[in-house]
Chain A
């Protein structure tokens, strides 16, 4: 797949308000949009089109793009919404620029914490025909995947525990049961926080006369698993392998572990993180134990995994995937602040959404076009 035109990320903003009750959702979106535009050095008048992503059931609004669209500058503008995943909004925006019909795109996704039960929000995503009576939420699906993985990769429980333990519990309750949904512990499953993320994309023609570092999309691919968990081999991630293959090919990356300096990998629990590392060709299951033990990805000089802290640093459930892309872009642009890694020429973002990572998206970003 050879896209017709190149796309660059030219600005990002992330907001995880510490007091989410202090502002309305629309106000949060206004803020994150203004911040991203400022980061890109643009005003809303420079924006040709907008793509947003959110989840109606999380927002408590039956068409969540409605009240939000004004906040992100949608009035009088071309705005689309991809509720399947935050990262799909990025994909859609990049395709629009690649078509040559848009010079810029604003991408916004958000994840509130206003529902009284995130588990219930997720459970109503199961089909009413066969699975709705089961307590199947995202955590349960991750747990099922963890057990499936353990059957094929003995020793993975210890590795997962050590990953979770090493980065420390970032929250309260260790007074409850040790396991939330076996084998997932509290430490492995950070509580949801309110978050919003916005990115500004631009075409080659738009970027050319401007200065400053941008992050070029060198490769992008996305794929999906089937919907029923029982139809999948949860110990594997074929859709991610497909997505990675296509993204690497487009980016001209033959040996990812050698070419990429930073990888932001979706790790809603350590098990998914490990599975993703394998499917991305960064660390196979026979290398997990030694890589984790040696801290190869933390302290090694070649490739850093999740310098942002990953999902454990901030679990903005719905937009975690798009956050990985923003973090990777920031690394390439030298704008990752306190967790900037030195000398990042090429970064990879892996975004996953849906039960047990049903949707998989891989973006390779680089300083060179």
Chain B
């Protein structure tokens, strides 16, 4: 008995409104290579990436705080498998708590030799200091910056 299959692809483009808070964040990265977090009025925690309100306290955030460009690694992984529509491996990415921020922001780690995974994992260990680097041409997007180890 013949068993048929059918291929279908979903093709929809979305135009997502970023709102004032995220727009301010990205405009400053694009135009001034500056990164900002936003302080939660209730706990005092500086949230990065910034949001208009804290989902823990449900109170609006109160002020902009310039953060980074240095920071420490809070989490990382290195990817060795190919996934459709994601970058070709190997690559490393994770979360960095930039100086003056209380939460961590996601980004790629570049300039690390990933050919020896355990060695790379030691280099990228939690607590390692990194520096934010910016792209020459920036568009106002999370890929305008990445992190590199200091050495």
- Which residues in A have some Cβ–Cβ distance to B below 8 Å? 20-27, 30, 34, 44, 57, 60, 69-71, 73-76, 114-117, 120-121, 124, 128-129, 132
Contacts and interface: CB of A to CB of B under 8 A. Distances in A.
B18 interface: yes
B19 A120 contact: no
A5 B12 CA distance: 44
A76 B54 CA distance: 13
A49 B118 CA distance: 44
Contact of B18 (A24, A73, A75): A24
Given A120-B11, A120-B12, A124-B10, A25 B17 contact: yes
Tell me which of B6, B8, B51, B55 has the highest count of chain A C-beta atoms within 10 A of its own C-beta.
Answer: B55
Given A128-B6, A128-B8, A132-B8, A60 B16 contact: yes
Given A27-B52, A44-B58, A124-B10, A116 B15 contact: yes
B56 A75 contact: yes
Given A121-B12, A128-B8, A71 B55 contact: yes
Contacts of A26: 19, 51-52
A21 B23 CA distance: 11
Contact of B17 (A57, A114, A115, A117): A114
Given A21-B17, A22-B20, A117 B12 contact: yes
A73 B58 contact: yes
Interface residues of B, number: 21
Nearest to B56: A75
A116 B13 contact: yes
26 contacts: A23-B20, A24-B16, A24-B17, A24-B22, A24-B52, A25-B16, A25-B17, A26-B52, A27-B52, A30-B52, A30-B53, A30-B58, A44-B58, A60-B12, A60-B14, A60-B16, A75-B56, A76-B56, A115-B12, A115-B13, A115-B14, A116-B13, A120-B11, A120-B12, A121-B12, A128-B6
A25 to B, nearest CB: 7
Interface of B is mostly: loop
Contacts of A20: 17
A116 B10 CA distance: 12
Contacts of B53: 27, 30, 71
Contacts of B55: 69-71, 74-75
Contacts of A117: 12
Contact of B19 (A22, A44, A73): A22
Contact of A57 (B6, B12, B16, B21): B12
Interface in B103-118: none
Contacts of B56: 75-76
Nearest to B52: A27
A23 B19 CA distance: 4
A306 to B, nearest CB: 30
A116 B22 CA distance: 22
B12 A116 contact: yes
A128 B15 CA distance: 26
